[in-house]
């Protein structure tokens, strides 16, 4: 049973990690595309419209990859996690169905019109279709996170005699206190990814002395959006999400922060350290006293419960993985803010486009928001373990009892091979779009 559960979890972890590489770009990028189209309507300057079309091609390719890699996860609910689907389908099935029927179809229906219907629709209606794509994309994220939030903090339910969960308060799903901080945090993080990609490609164009005018436009846009979204990820959304963990999953918070033993006079914040789960301590740690208590409760001396205050069978099953995932996410988020502050400072001074080390840094940093987003989701998922529905349904109780570990391993290897080919094809196609660049247009650099 343990071997079967391990491969079930590994398969879902791999497929969802690969899948989320694509929606995290499209959600944020849809807002930037709408911004470029709005700027065109406002200024009538053609380079904004060409920028719109350039990024829409990359959006469409990411959207297609997101669809292809998202469908297998739906099937895994019926194969690897059939018991979970049987017991909770009356609740999570509603939000997942709404995501597919409303958000996905809204996004996909207007994508074709936005890509090919500009001449037919005119620029104002073309802008409206782009706006509807963005709404569909963000609504899709909302409904997925509504599902996830119910698993983290179940509300509005009752359990029947046969063990099935049913919803007795529909609005509770969308008023879940876990939902809105998580959703806004996720969307801001998505915008960080798209901002770094836009800025990074802009830096690439400037450094390669190719499409320099568009490079300056992309760089300026990416830096401004990137700084705003990086700050929002930290404060207020990250702060609110962390306080939800403290309130509803205190044992998870203790593991995230590496608090093995309760400190009666305030908790330190650990900047660097390696968890030793066996001996219940942090090795080689660098910490600042009392800061964690102040950030969490606004009180320097407030006690924060450590793992020693909870029964061991309630501890997260992978404390080390949870601790590292959380600290990688937070560490990268701090780097993002610092880099974008420096970039905006140089932009205001009029020297960003000539500061090569910053341009190289922005280009080099393009993959790192993907890492931060992935470790953020790992933090949420590892933190909930050993539960599928927190405090109500164990992960082991949700797995399909009739699917063997051999079958799951075989299909996992198949997914790895197939997704490797899809990933290489995706990078090749995106590379061709970037190499070709936006439509050539003569512009004065003073307009950028």
Position 88 in a domain: yes
CA angle at residue 400 from 396 to 404, to 5 degrees?
Answer: 105
Structural domain count, the chain: 2
Residue 384 lies in a domain: yes
In a domain, residue 27? The reply is yes
Is 408 part of any domain? no
Q: What is the C-alpha separation between 133 and 346, in angstroms, rounded? A: 34
Peptide bond between residue 236 and the one before it cis (omega within 30 degrees of 0): yes
Q: Structure pTM?
A: 0.94
**Nearest-angstrom CA–CA distance, 131 and 31:** 8
Longest CA–CA span in the chain (Å) reads 72
- Is 398 domain-assigned? no
Clarify whether residues 288 and 350 are in a common domain. yes
Say yes or no: 150 and 273 in one domain: no
Q: What pLDDT, on the 0 to 100 scale, is given for residue 440?
A: 56
| Residue 403 domain-assigned (yes or no) | no
How far apart CA 285 and CA 274 sit, in angstroms, is 7
User: Average pLDDT of each block of 10 consecutive residues along the chain (448 residues)?
Assistant: 88 95 96 97 94 95 93 88 94 90 84 90 94 95 96 95 93 95 97 98 96 95 98 96 96 95 87 92 91 90 92 94 97 97 97 96 97 97 96 94 90 95 96 87 43
Same domain, 211 and 150: no
The alpha helices in 208-318, defined as continuous H runs, are: 212-232, 239-248, 250-257, 291-297
**125 and 231 inside one domain:** no
What is the C-alpha separation between 340 and 292, in angstroms, rounded?
Answer: 25
Q: Rounded to whole angstroms, how far apart are CA atoms 216 and 448? A: 7
Torsion of CA 7, 10, 15, 17, to 10 degrees: 180
- Does residue 44 lie in a domain region? yes
> Residue 192: inside a domain, yes or no?
yes
127 and 234 share a domain? no
- d(CA 316, CA 183) in angstroms, rounded, equals 23
Token reading at 113: 């019109």
Judge if 181 and 163 occupy the same domain: no
Query: Do 331 and 234 reside in the same domain of the chain?
Result: yes
Q: Are residues 365 and 283 in the same domain?
A: yes
Report how far residue 269's alpha carbon sits from residue 260's, in angstroms, rounded to the nearest whole number: 13
Q: What is the DSSP letter of 234?
A: I
Domain housing 148: 1-167+414-439
Q: 136 Cβ partners below 8 Å, 6+ apart? A: 103, 104, 105, 106, 107, 108, 110
- The pLDDT score that the predictor gives to residue 39 is 96
For residue 265, which of 243, 290, 297, 246 has the smallest C-alpha distance?
290
Q: Are strands 387-389 and 393-394 parallel, antiparallel or unpaired?
A: antiparallel
Query: Does one domain contain both 269 and 313?
Result: yes
Shared-domain flag, residues 156 and 277: no
Joined together, the tokens standing for residue 7 give: 């491969």
Q: Are residues 163 and 181 in the same domain?
A: no
Give the span between the Cα atoms of 192 and 233, in whole angstroms. Answer: 8
Residue 106: predicted pLDDT: 86
Using alpha carbons only, give the angle 143, 148, 151 rounded to the nearest 5 degrees.
135
Do 237 and 133 fall into the same domain? no
Q: Which residue has the tokens 């608090």?
A: 259
Query: From residue 414, how far is each of 18, 21, 60, 90 by CA, in Å?
Result: 14, 19, 26, 31
DSSP state of 210: S
């Amino acid at each position: 049973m343990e071997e079967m559960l391990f491969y079930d979890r590994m398969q879902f972890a791999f497929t969802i990690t690969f899948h989320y590489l694509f929606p995290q770009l499209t959600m944020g990028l849809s807002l930037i595309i709408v911004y470029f189209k709005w700027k065109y309507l406002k200024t009538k300057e053609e380079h904004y419209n060409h920028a719109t079309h350039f990024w829409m091609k990359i959006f469409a390719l990411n959207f297609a990859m997101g669809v292809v890699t998202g469908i297998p996860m739906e099937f895994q609910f019926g194969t690897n996690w059939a018991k979970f689907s049987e017991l909770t389908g009356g609740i999570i099935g509603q939000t997942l169905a709404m995501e597919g029927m409303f958000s996905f179809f809204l996004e996909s229906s207007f994508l074709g019109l936005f890509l090919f219907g500009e001449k037919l629709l005119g620029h104002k209606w073309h802008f409206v279709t782009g706006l509807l794509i963005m709404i569909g994309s963000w609504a899709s994220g909302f409904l997925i996170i509504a599902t996830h939030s119910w698993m983290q903090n179940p509300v509005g339910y009752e359990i029947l005699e046969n063990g099935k969960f049913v919803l007795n308060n529909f609005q509770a799903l969308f008023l879940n206190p876990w939902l809105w901080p998580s959703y806004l945090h996720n969307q801001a993080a998505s915008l960080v990814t798209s901002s770094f990609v836009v800025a990074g490609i802009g830096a690439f164009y400037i450094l390669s002395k190719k499409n320099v005018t568009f490079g300056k436009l992309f760089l300026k846009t990416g830096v401004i959006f990137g700084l705003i979204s990086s700050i929002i990820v930290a404060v207020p959304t990250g702060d609110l999400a962390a306080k939800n963990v403290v309130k509803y999953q205190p044992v998870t918070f203790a593991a995230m922060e590496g608090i093995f033993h309760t400190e009666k006079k305030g908790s330190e914040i650990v900047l660097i350290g390696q968890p030793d789960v066996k001996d219940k301590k942090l090795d080689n740690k660098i910490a600042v006293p009392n800061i964690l208590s102040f950030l969490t409760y606004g009180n320097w001396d407030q006690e924060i419960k450590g793992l020693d205050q909870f029964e061991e069978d309630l501890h997260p099953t992978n404390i080390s993985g949870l601790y590292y995932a959380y600290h990688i996410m937070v560490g990268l988020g701090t780097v993002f803010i610092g880099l974008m502050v420096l970039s905006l400072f140089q932009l205001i001074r009029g020297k960003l486009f000539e500061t090569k080390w910053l341009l190289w840094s922005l280009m080099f940093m393009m993959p790192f928001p993907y890492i931060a987003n992935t470790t953020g989701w790992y933090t949420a998922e590892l933190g909930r373990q050993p539960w599928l529905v927190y405090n109500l349904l164990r992960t082991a109780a949700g797995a399909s009892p009739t699917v063997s570990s051999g079958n799951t391993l075989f299909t996992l290897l198949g997914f790895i091979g197939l997704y490797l080919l899809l990933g290489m094809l995706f990078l090749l196609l995106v590379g061709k779009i970037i190499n070709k660049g936006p439509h050539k247009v003569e512009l004065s650099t003073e307009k950028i």
